[in-house]
Amino acid sequence: MKRLLLLDNHDSYTFILRESLIKAGADQVDVVCVEDFHQDLIKDFDALVISPGPGIPEQNNLPEIIRNLAGMIPLLGICLGMQAIAEAFGGKIINMKQVYHGSEAIVNHSGTELFTDIPDQFSAGLYHSWAVVQESLPDDLKITSVSQNNVPMSLEHLKFPVCGFQFHPESHITKVGIQLLSNFLKFYV
C-alpha cells in the first residue's frame, strides 16, 4: 500500500494533483496545509509530495522541511516544491522575466528511471515565474530535464530519494504526467 502525504502550499491545483497521484497508483493521498505540517505526521506515510503554490520557498519554510526530511522519506516537489528542493541543498532560484501560466513547454530529459516509458521529448504545462539556477546546484543535485529554453524542468538528488518537477504533471497539457507520477511511485516509494 502506497500512502502519500501531500503538503498543500495553498495552490488551486493541489486537489487535481491529489487525484492524479491516485490515478498513478497511490492507494491513499492525505492533504495537509503547510501551516499544519509537523514532522511527526510522516510516520504514517510512505512519501511526501510538496505541492505547487504562490510565492517563494522560504515563505512556507519549505527548504528547512526538506533538509529535515531528506533521507527519512521519499520527497517529490512540484513547481514551488522543486524550487524548495534546490534551495534546501544550497541552490538558488531566479525570478524570470516572463511569467508562465498555462504555457506549454517542450521538455527533453536525460533518461533516468523517473522518465521510464516517457518519450525523449514531451509537452508539459508550466505555471511559474521562478526557476532554478542550474549553475548554483551542488554536485549531488542533478538536472534531469530542461525546456526548449534550457530552463531546468526536473531534478533528482543523487544520495537521497528526492526529486522534483518544475512543470505540472497534473496539468492537462502534460500528457505524460500520470506516467511520471507512476514512475515516482515505482522507483522512489
Pairing, β 152-157 against β 141-147: antiparallel
Rounded to the nearest 10 degrees, the angle between the axes of helix 177-188 and helix 14-23 is 70
Q: How far is CA 174 from CA 5, 122, 139, 167, in A?
A: 22, 8, 28, 8
Cβ-contact 31, 41 below 8 angstroms: no
Helix (H, G, I), strand (E, B) or coil at 22: helix
DSSP string, 37-83: --GGGGGG-SEEEE---SS-GGGGTHHHHHHHHTTTS-EEEETHHHH
Among candidate residues 109, 128, 157, 168, the one labeled active-site is 168
Catalytic residue among 35, 79, 104, 172: 79
Residue 168 among the catalytic residues: yes
Are residues 158 and 141 in contact, defined by beta-carbon separation less than 8 angstroms?
A: yes
CA atoms within 13 A on the CB side of 63: 14
Check if 33 is active-site: no
Question: What are the residue numbers of the active site?
Answer: 79, 168, 170
